[in-house]
Structure 1
């Protein structure tokens, strides 16, 4: 069985041929409160059926029933169907912490993502989120910021507002390990230590497709979520020692405290190479003495 013409509206059948028929059930929500047929309601139904057809076509973007050379996205020589629209992936994320702040860096890899259905690079912008470590995995995220391209969609902030720049104001980058990062966002006012252990995530989202009713799609906050603890940065040689501890006082079983033994911690910072640490109850009872030696410390 094969199409008899270019637009696949006619097919040739020969003895012994088989035809695989695929059905889709399309639904259209009410466009108004009136329980009757309307052009608006039929338009919603047509849009949904159109997406069902596009999903079934998959790599067969022109719908001719065969895999043309330029349609083979994964290069396997086979026609893959049931491909749905997809948001750009989340960027690679790196976080540096200091006293009272977390600095987020991310790359620009989502900007080159091509939607598997439209075959367009429809990246629109980034969103920066944070939540407490003790929150649910996918709940209580707070939107800290959002940037998007300058076009006829969204807020039109421009991506340059968070782009890393050199001393002359030109676009630049920062390298951590093998990765290069082009954007930077500082979250300040974070309490040091466990009480404000935060989880951060940067997502990317696309333009959507207003013509077909497809809303903007956003990557998952779980893709690059990273937990950090704000605290004093290591002291460089010659700098003044700033020694401290957090949380102080420590309250066992507090809402922000970890659940496992490895997560219930007291953090010391700015310790000299050798030090004696004494831990007391609020009543003044000595409960622990620790001899700190940087040469043998492996915690």
Structure 2
């Protein structure tokens, strides 16, 4: 194996967007898979998709809240034809501008599909992933690639120490010399290739959360990313360290932001399998990690010959950067050499994985930074779990029961209670679940988890409910009902209901609500309107992410109009409230023209059919 470590730059032209994509969102690790070979990356400047997001979600997340570890990934294919001429096909992550033409993309899509194979479904195949994405494309040199990526939702029994199968993506590649150059399924050329190498390229960027801390440009923030190679696992990975650009500031380690560590993960990819090479050399043949520029300051192009020699491990000659160009890791594994005559194929399986300290530990602030290094052993254990499931042909010895679909989460008023409990309801469709590995009907019950912070957690267990417990189960309707009476006014909550079996296995939290649900009070029949917090001092005190600047009006009548004014009488915001179940309404401190208000005293009025009232709000920032 040829291993090269460089702290230099690769310069490439602009990235070309693929035609179509599907998203893995079943496990903790979310990823965008494209039909042209690319992995991750943005859809457009205005649309953000998962890109090695860990923990992933929720759908539609904004870039600054996204826990992304990847700028982009893809596949390189290079070799020689019968005339000993070099060819090079790029299937992401760049368009290199080969042969003098900018944005040259050398693939043709042949389709992509996402398949749900969820545990508990009537046609569940235990020898496959729970979520499968199959993409297929061909290159201008007639090599057709079929990529099958798979994920599982099954968690471990103890975070990091006994990890499950939900922190990695297994990706199976078949490279075949079909002679099809345009994706129509018909052979256009007949060529035999030698010294063929297949490369897997990842621009792993653990420091994307630096944008929150420093507002730095995307190149500057990557100066603290560290790359390492674990030869025993063929694992190439990166993690966030302390930035020299920030003067070695301690808050930059793990990207500590407002008491939360935002970048706890160690992210990488490793070999699970590769066909024997022509010369019998150990695989991967090439391990190369350098520093790749994310923003193009000067358009420099690398020809196919240079790229092929990097892929084959015969060269590390790459362009030097301009001064003051900050860096993002470029990680490459090359497999080969292979002979690829017409009809021949090569099989390679890669695992992409991320793991680190738990969301609960991340909220420990600077006191938790000492545990960040544990992410390395958590990552290696996850890669070991991927090897385990691959070597067992994707079968498990014991499957956790599937999580039920939560039918609804809604506030249900109770007579005489000022605070409305949130009630979860789910059906009993999996009560008779039979483990496909053991043949045993072993579902024992359900656990209710809640987070008052964010969709990704941390979650705490609220209740463990035995199967068909009459306190929670209605045999007539076939539904379970759990009232959460511990909610607090104004706080938002995320819930998950998991099933557990007699061995202690739990299902994944696959049924979480995407948006927070709120504890409320019922409408008031008297005008005793209150605002909280008042005064507002810097942040609201609500624990739910995104609610830091919200104020809540409560004790509202079921239908009313709230108007907020400056002290001089200018209208700032008008809010119409009409809810028969809630006497609460939030104000996010934005004006009607979507401008954030400044510190000061504000007046409000509430007008309704039962009368009018007014008051003041003091905002201190």
Larger relative CO (CA 8 A, sep 6+): 1 or 2? 1
